[in-house]
Amino acid sequence: MKENPIIIIGGGLQGLATANALIDRGEEVLVLEKSSGVATQTSFANAGMLTPSQAAPWNSMADIVNILSGIGKKDSPMLLKLNQLPSLFFWGLRFLLNSSKSKYRSNTENLCKLAQHSLELTKQIREKYGFNYDHSSVGTMKIFRDESSFNKASKEVERLSDLGLTFKVLTNQEVVEQEPFLSDVSNKISGGIIFPDDETGDAYKFCKELETVIREKGGRIHVNTEVKKIHFNKRKVNSVVTDRVEIKASRVVLTSGSWTNNLLKNTRLNLPVKPVKGYSLTLDTSILNDTPKMPIIDERIHTAITPLGYSLRVAGTAEFAGFNEGIHQKRIDYLYKTLESIYPSISSNLDLDEGALWYGFRPMSPDGMPYIGPTKISGLFVNTGHGHSGWTLAMGSADLLADIILNKETKIGSEPFLVSRSF
């Protein structure tokens, strides 16, 4: 083991994927994770979807209307707390600037390319090492509650074929054929769109499998290790100070999600990454004779219901509330109501009080694009800002960053994701 490995700060999806990509290129790595285990924060209980079809950023005009209409409303799918308005002012201006049709389409195209590359790499590592993370390759299905939104989406989805994505627009009857458990609410569904190339899986279980592989390859992962500070000398990385020891370093990668800026306080760098809180509810379905098989996305309310092995996960909502710890009952009630509105027969046969509740902070950039690459400080790199697509983009982002760090030709264009990009 080299005395000066590449240090990766953050042991979630991005950190572990980055570590694996660098090891495969012959580098020594040391992952530092402040929690008691890997992937216990934002990567722990997300929606479980790997969806190039849903990689578009959250600053479409429809999203902006939803956010503004949710100001101060705790039962809104997209909640913006009033006390966050001052801290979000400049970030919000950038967010709005990237909502123009040209910007939105350009960002969507770049995200789709990265997502498709990432999904292919996810498949490759699963097959190579026999990963088991409750994955499914049946695709995902988006449902619509009214004719207007269905007709609009049916037209807009046509451009996805230009990006290499496959889809099929479904009638009400075809939606139920794809997922018979929707028959109870078929009269409330106008239609749907199925994306057969999407996948689903438990991100936490994937991370645990990846952790094992990294350790077997000689990579080091230190948990219960909090990084306090990064020391620099003449604008170059010099060392990393943890709550235990100071480690000599010349190359450091920040994969610490929404907490990235905490480690940039003494650098004059400030990435425009804001935490957007999301919730999930995971229910044990092992007592049921039959369960839904098709992952469902309700676009109108930014909520997904994903079968994961012997469980069903309801995930969604977006809360612009800073690092607001704790589970708020109105947000959880919203997930309960979503489950009841989509799968009433399932909801009535499960003990909802036994569901596992969780929340995490999505690291959101104003243009919806992750930051992948070097900073103005020599030896300091970042891989963060993936928003709602962290699971989808993880393997591709790591592959891209590893090539950037080692000055190798990247497999897809890196310019759209660089820290130095304009807004």
Percent residues over pLDDT 90 in the chain: 82
* 71-77 mean pLDDT: 76
Domain ranges of the chain: 1-70+80-135+200-273+363-422
Which amino acid is it at 149? S
Quote the CA–CA distance of 120 and 254 in Å, as a whole number: 24
Confidence (pLDDT) at 1: 43
Phi/psi zone of residue 39: left (φ > 0), alpha (ψ -120 to 50 degrees), beta? left
Band (423; pLDDT cuts 50, 70, 90): low
Is residue 301's pLDDT more than 80? no
Averaged pLDDT, 378-401: 98
Model pLDDT for residues 99-146, shown as the tens digit of each residue: 999 999 999 999 999 999 999 999 999 999 999 999 999 999 999 999
Phi, psi angles (nearest 5°) of residue 302: 50, 50
3, pLDDT greater than 80: no
pLDDT of 403 reads: 99
Q: What is the distance between the alpha carbons of residues 369 and 70, in angstroms, rounded to a whole number?
A: 23
Predicted local confidence at residue 65, as pLDDT: 84
DSSP code of residue 386: B
- Tell me the C-alpha distance between 75 and 109, whole Å: 32
For residue 61, the model assigns a pLDDT of: 82
Walk across the sheet containing 246-248 and list its strands. Answer: 227-232, 237-242, 246-248
pLDDT tens digit sequence for 270-296: 999 999 999 999 999 999 999 999 999
Please state the rounded mean pLDDT for residues 66-80: 79
Instruction: Domain 1-70+80-135+200-273+363-422: give its CATH code.
Output: 3.50.50.60
Share above pLDDT 70 across residues of the chain, in percent, rounded to a whole number:
99
pLDDT bin (cut points 50, 70, 90) of residue 19 is: very high
Query: What's the pLDDT at 330?
Result: 86
| 217-234 confidence digits (pLDDT tens) | 999 999 999 999 999 999
Residues 6+ apart with CB under 8 A from 407: none
Average pLDDT, the chain: 94
At 323-362, the pLDDT tens digits run 988 888 888 898 999 999 999 999 999 988 889 999 999 9
Asked if pLDDT for residue 20 goes beyond 90, the answer is yes
Lowest mean pLDDT among 54-63, 197-206, 243-252, 306-315: 54-63
How far is 358 from 277, CA to CA, in rounded Å? 10
